[in-house]
Structure 1
Amino acid sequence: MSQAAQQPVPEAATPGSVARPAGLFRALERGFARAQTGLSALAPDELNPLLHLGAAANTALMISAASGILLLFFYVPAVDQAYESVLGPLAGFLRTLHRYSSDACMLLVLLHLLKTFAAARFAGARWVAWFTGVGLLFTLWLDGWLGYWMLWDEGGAQTAMMSAAMVDALGLFSTPLSRGFAAHSLLNSLLFFVVFFCHIAIPLLLAAGIWLHLLRISKPRLLTNRSLTLVLVASLCAVSLLFPAPARGEADLARVTGEYVLDPWYQAPLVLYGRVGEGLLWLAFAAGALGLVAVPWLFSRRRRAPAKVDSSRCTGCEQCVKDCPFGANSMVAFEGRRVSRIDPGKCLGCGICIGSCSPAAIVLPELPLEVLRRRIDLWFSSPSSDQLAFVCRESAALAHHSVTSEGRHPELPGVRIIEVPCAGLVHPELVQRAQRRGAARVVVAACGADPHYRLGAHWMEERLKGKRDPGHKIHLPAPEKLCTLRLSAFGLLDLKRATAPTPAAIASPRKSRWVMGALLWLALISGCSLAGWVTVTPSSVPPSELVVTFLHSGEILPDSGQSAGNDVAPHMRGARTSMVERAPVEMRVFVDGVEVVNRAYFPSGLAGAGPSAALERIPVEAGQHEIRIEINDTGKPGQWRHHETRRLEFKARERHVARFDTGRGFSWE
């Protein structure tokens, strides 16, 4: 027996899933992998939606930004002109394209987030990308939410009123924003312009967020390839021409809203408006945001040990720096020369840098290169008909613990298997060693077309073809006995085919698959766009409505004015100031002699010295009604100094507004 065979082979630690519960994440990843494989059977990888989610989302965002810029030539940011300014044929097409591309962007971002979660690509150093991705999701949603406000149709008015109610619940302003939407005469044009400015400025934040999102990724794929870009643009333009976005009339605050069109990709919270209090909505929003942000800490179980560099063996070739997809490798000075250094905070333990290192100066603690060499020497110490397969552990092709310590799998007879964190770890020297020892064939199986560690599979293929260092320095004795493949969701079946006596040839994509890929995108864009045509009804639709509002300061309470600084020495007193406290303003509203409102409204401001504000919406049956409003601002019971009575005719779905302002008294609309 040879010396290599006499020595025991040290077992490398075989880590479990980096996320918990492991069973859940294996099932989720397997589900996405099967969907991805199913789509790959219909369309080429260049057009497979699940392989380009992030890049396609960025491309859709670019289309949305471009159409939005063109739409600015038509849009007028004024309440009275906003809706009419985008009704022309060209403006309508641009508005539709702008809306549908925004919807597609949100759908693709959500799918990208789900796929990232299913693959547990949030653990370890990837928490930064996850954290910034969650921030980008909420920023994108906010920009779309404000965009629907700007159209100022019935849905836009509902969006504006819910936004105002949510802000008012925080108590940030002395004058409630909701009061500005009680009547058309109260609309604030400046606020409308601020919303317009925010809508066109937020994309700059998105651009900065995308830069941060990709900061730790080397050679990121920001946009889609040319073929997919053409398909995406053509699909969006075709759907925009065939199905113009609905425009069902300008918002009318003098009418009760009976129904409106809602886009669930951005306006889904409107379904809860009026059904759930603003406090619960803020609580749900905060809980959802914190839950998403905390995913890396809630579900991460362990971090793989980072790779380490033996500086004494490093030649400073910088190939590992070029190949690391996550920017973990860098060059530093060491004993008068430059050597590689690995940042443990960025390293994911994939081992791609090991496959790039000619002098084998990089070591992965869980699977040292020396262990792999000794396994090969042991298994192929004598002539053998066995094949050797390096299988990416992230491919989920092999069930957990299904490979024995001897590298055997019950469904792959005649094959010795070595599981690696990433196919990019496979050094060309290992393949050369196995072929020289007599392996019948060497198979290197990477995870699918969307590798877990991004460029690892691609670098492996380039090295073994001799197109990338260190591959061109190593001669393979039998290149015809080498097989590299990307595993699908049915990875075990792929391995059986690859290790069969006569492996099946891989057919190139036919034209029909390209056509099918384009149709898949057209169907996806159509479904996403038409999903925004949801007609909803508010939580309550009264027959008619009376809105009563005031902004008025109560009288200063007796003995509330106190001179500041009277209790200190004269030379330490500052300017003479006065702190006042105002009385709450009470209001009663009667409809046909029946009291429907009786409330006190406390002064605004931290010191209780600001004006009191009220906004009451009172349902009223259609017909004539006598309305009486009484206001007490004295702080003394029963002194209703301001009052007025009107007899009004309420038509179906009509809204009347009664206002009271200091110095102006009552006004009716």
Structure 2
Amino acid sequence: MKKLFLYIEDQLNRLFSPKYNPFYYLGAISTLFFLILLISGIYLFIFYRTNNPYKIVQDLTEKQWYLGGIMRSLHRYASDGLVISIVLHTIREYVNGRYSHYRWIAWVSGVVLFIASLMLGISGYWLVWDERAQLIALKTAELLNDIFFFMEPPSRSFLSNESISGMFFFLLHFLHVAFPLGMIVLIGIHIIRCPRPVLKTPRAVTAGVAVVLLIASIILPATSAQPADLARLPINTPFDWFFFFIYPVRSLLPKSIFWLITIGGTIILFILPWTKRHRLLTAQVTSENCTGCDQCNKDCPYGAIRLQPPEERFPYRLKAVIMPERCAACGICVGACDFNAINLPEMTETQIKEEIIKLLAAIQTDRRPRILLLVCKRSVRFDAVADIIKERANIKAIALPCIGMVQPSMIETGFKSGADGIFLCGCVIGDCHYREGNVWLQARLRGERPPFSNKMVDCQRIGEYWLSSINTTKLAEELRLFEENLNAYNISVHEKPRIIKSIEDRRWSFKRVIASAIPAFLLPAFLILFLSTKPIYPFYSKDKSLIKFTFKHSSKHIGGCRELTKEEIEALPLHMRKTNSPFPSIRMDCGRERFPVYVEVDLDDKNVLSKIYYPAGLRKDGPVFAYEEIPVVPGMHEVKVRMGESKEGPAFDYTFEEKIDVEARGVVVIDLSTMLKSSL
């Protein structure tokens, strides 16, 4: 999986350049989609009414197609794009190992955001109340029927068109508006440990996303299906797979297996950050060297350093303090400190400089330039680097947790120890494993960020190459080119110093990126257009109709009932005493548990249902609810129902017989609740 993502990213880097690679901005693209959803949603909110939602949405789409229709389409396709970007962002962070330890808040809140996005999208489809909304309402109710938390099966709320009121759509509308507000809070939690979160995409990426959404909205505008009718089955209904994928899975798997996978998978996603036990020792501050300059705090990508007044006597007003729960042990703070005041216990600045001196002293060559290679462990495997340089005695390498750990004084040490050139190798710009290490190093070398490089350092002899592990083989070519540049080095002292660039360093104009972006965005645009309506999943057979059998019944108490005596009433606490009502039924004391209800249903003298329904509640003292769907062929059918209460076995107390005429694609409801009140 990781190799696949790296390959795709590499191809996108060739197409867009790393600066505009959309895979490096998946989080920001998700934010962009969310912003589009907010803007278009506010516009739709202004016109939406709950008294006749289907007609309101249709009028907005058809009579105001030039704006209302476009806004609706943007809202639809941006929601699909949001799901795609969140899924890709989640998978990419997982395969790159960016989810554990100090990143657990971002991971957990991201999972919650994904679930909230799905719920928000599903509730949005309900608000249209067409056949697609009807289908999703019925299937969602079926899912909720499996949850014991609901005493009454939610499917009983969708028995007929009369059972759907304006209050239902008002509550849906309220939730659909409230959810985004909660998601804004979640987004804040998601980035709470990132001092400089990337929430804004580059102009080229923003333009590409906007253009693709707009073109999709014009080519295939979002439309409604036929009006919802609970008396008919929704067949051949457009199906949005980005949000509704869970319903086909539920129909294919047994109930127990489905919920085991769903609940188990969700739990695994939430606990995933704690499955990685190994963690490097966090950075440590040497108080006597700290000047309270605040540079380590400014450079830390996770806000793991804060400056506070010292408790003991201290020559400076503030000193740095590490927050271990946030520290990633990346070493960027080491590269930011010019006073050797902060270090990683496993790799200090002094140890690195000593290793540089030792390695360069071991190079025995007079012909070829001596090169020191400083490489990031996260960008490329060090064993692969060792294989590349094992036959090149003039190159020695040191692996660092992050290339941002390199401090200008380390480079100075390398040159003073006899290095002819220093080659820096780290993650692709824009995709640093620790967010900003490579960017800060570039700024230090260019004199744009402290600690500044010594002016005596010849920047012509510093090379850099930013790569991912899939480009490891190219590192050998980069080193060869760098060595040739050093051999041919003969620069005038009056020429402005510059850092030697990679052979793949290219200039990308805004127009070129846009021209490359449009074809590249066509594939996700096609996926959104196709999977938002097709393929249609056949939940209901075209040649079948449906009988919905249901009832609600309070069965008799198993222990029977008796009237309490006066002495028994007085012995009870005041709040538990029965009233002195003249009605004996109110003064009765009954056992809590109720009888189950036995049901048999025959269709055309053939048994289609034989089941025991138990009372609701943990103590089995609630009403008995039943809801069953019986597929039938259209036509005239004779239905016989036998029901009864007994502790031992079937003893039918009530029978129901009726001939019903079922239309093609029709739904007939047999609700015995009212009859049972008077008969049982």
Partner of 1:315: 291
1:525 aligns with 2:525: yes
Aligned residue for 1:431, secondary structure, equals helix
1:468 aligns with 2:449: yes
Separation of aligned partners in 1, 2:24 and 2:654: 71
Separation of aligned partners in 1, 2:300 and 2:563: 69
Q: How far 1:409 sits from its partner (Å)?
A: 1.7
- Identify if the C-alpha distance between structure 1 residues 339 and 603 changes in structure 2 by more than 3 Å, giving closer, same or farther: same
Aligned runs of 1:87-98 on 2, under 5 Å?
87-88=61-62, 89=65, 90-98=67-75
1:252 aligns with 2:229: yes
Q: How far 1:539 sits from its partner (Å)?
A: 6.0
**Bigger relative contact order, structure 1 or 2 (CA pairs below 8 A, ≥6 apart):** 1
Aligned runs of 1:245-394 on 2, under 5 Å?
245-298=222-275, 300-334=276-310, 335-336=312-313, 337-381=317-361, 385-394=369-378
Partner of 2:488: none
Separation of aligned partners in 2, 1:565 and 1:459: 85
- Identify if the C-alpha distance between structure 1 residues 573 and 345 changes in structure 2 by more than 3 Å, giving closer, same or farther: same
1:177 aligns with 2:154: yes
Partner of 2:458: 478
Aligned runs of 1:400-439 on 2, under 5 Å?
400=383, 402-403=385-386, 409-410=389-390, 412=392, 414-439=394-419
Partner of 1:65: 38
Q: How far 1:125 sits from its partner (Å)?
A: 1.3
Partner of 1:81: 54
1:104 aligns with 2:104: no
Q: How far 1:200 sits from its partner (Å)?
A: 1.8
Q: How far 1:241 sits from its partner (Å)?
A: 0.9
Separation of aligned partners in 2, 1:256 and 1:613: 23
Separation of aligned partners in 1, 2:218 and 2:340: 59
TM-score by length of structure 1 reads: 0.87
Could you give the per-residue CA deviations for residues 269-310 of structure 1, whole angstroms, max 9, x where no partner exists?
111343334443322211111121222233x25111111110
AA paired with 1:420? L
- Identify if the C-alpha distance between structure 1 residues 631 and 120 changes in structure 2 by more than 3 Å, giving closer, same or farther: same
- Identify if the C-alpha distance between structure 1 residues 433 and 555 changes in structure 2 by more than 3 Å, giving closer, same or farther: closer
- Identify if the C-alpha distance between structure 1 residues 208 and 387 changes in structure 2 by more than 3 Å, giving closer, same or farther: same
More helix by share: 2
Separation of aligned partners in 2, 1:565 and 1:393: 84
Partner of 2:585: none
Partner of 1:40: 13
Work out which of the residue numbers 601, 604, 607 in structure 2 matches 1:592: 604
TM-align CA RMSD: 3.0
Q: How far 1:189 sits from its partner (Å)?
A: 4.1
Q: How far 1:119 sits from its partner (Å)?
A: 0.9
AA paired with 1:532? S
Aligned residue for 2:185, secondary structure, equals helix
AA paired with 1:622? P
Could you give the per-residue CA deviations for residues 378-410 of structure 1, whole angstroms, max 9, x where no partner exists?
3445996302221111111x4527539xxx822
- Identify if the C-alpha distance between structure 1 residues 338 and 574 changes in structure 2 by more than 3 Å, giving closer, same or farther: same
Which deviates more from structure 2 when the two are superposed, residues 96-105 or residues 250-259? 250-259
Could you give the per-residue CA deviations for residues 338-357 of structure 1, whole angstroms, max 9, x where no partner exists?
21111222111111001111
Work out which of the residue numbers 436, 443, 447 in structure 1 matches 2:423: 443
Work out which of the residue numbers 435, 438, 453 in structure 1 matches 2:434: 453
Aligned runs of 1:80-229 on 2, under 5 Å?
81=54, 84=58, 87-88=61-62, 89=65, 90-229=67-206
**Do the aligned residues in 1 keep the contact of 2:373 with 2:398 (CA within 8 Å)?**
yes
**Do the aligned residues in 1 keep the contact of 2:20 with 2:202 (CA within 8 Å)?**
no
**Do the aligned residues in 2 keep the contact of 1:329 with 1:340 (CA within 8 Å)?**
yes
Separation of aligned partners in 1, 2:566 and 2:421: 93
Aligned length: 632
Partner of 1:548: 549
Could you give the per-residue CA deviations for residues 65-106 of structure 1, whole angstroms, max 9, x where no partner exists?
211221123333357636645542243332221111111111
Q: How far 1:597 sits from its partner (Å)?
A: 3.5
AA paired with 1:444? L
Q: How far 1:107 sits from its partner (Å)?
A: 0.7
AA paired with 1:283? L
Structure 2: which 5+ residue stretches go unaligned? 486-499, 579-588
**Do the aligned residues in 1 keep the contact of 2:142 with 2:154 (CA within 8 Å)?**
yes
AA paired with 1:552? H
Separation of aligned partners in 1, 2:17 and 2:256: 49
Separation of aligned partners in 1, 2:506 and 2:106: 36
Separation of aligned partners in 1, 2:564 and 2:251: 45
Separation of aligned partners in 1, 2:109 and 2:318: 33
**Do the aligned residues in 1 keep the contact of 2:53 with 2:129 (CA within 8 Å)?**
no
**Do the aligned residues in 2 keep the contact of 1:168 with 1:176 (CA within 8 Å)?**
yes
Partner of 1:230: 207
- Identify if the C-alpha distance between structure 1 residues 278 and 563 changes in structure 2 by more than 3 Å, giving closer, same or farther: farther
- Identify if the C-alpha distance between structure 1 residues 365 and 403 changes in structure 2 by more than 3 Å, giving closer, same or farther: farther
Which deviates more from structure 2 when the two are superposed, residues 597-606 or residues 561-570? 561-570
Separation of aligned partners in 2, 1:80 and 1:630: 41
**Do the aligned residues in 2 keep the contact of 1:445 with 1:484 (CA within 8 Å)?**
yes
Aligned residue for 1:400, secondary structure, equals helix
1:395 aligns with 2:379: yes
Separation of aligned partners in 1, 2:331 and 2:537: 53
Separation of aligned partners in 1, 2:565 and 2:42: 55
Partner of 1:6: none
Which deviates more from structure 2 when the two are superposed, residues 460-469 or residues 254-263? 254-263
**Do the aligned residues in 1 keep the contact of 2:548 with 2:629 (CA within 8 Å)?**
yes
**Do the aligned residues in 2 keep the contact of 1:561 with 1:580 (CA within 8 Å)?**
no
Q: How far 1:368 sits from its partner (Å)?
A: 1.5
**Do the aligned residues in 2 keep the contact of 1:309 with 1:361 (CA within 8 Å)?**
yes
Which deviates more from structure 2 when the two are superposed, residues 522-531 or residues 502-511? 502-511
Partner of 1:5: none
Separation of aligned partners in 2, 1:134 and 1:459: 30
**Do the aligned residues in 2 keep the contact of 1:354 with 1:360 (CA within 8 Å)?**
yes
Partner of 1:13: none
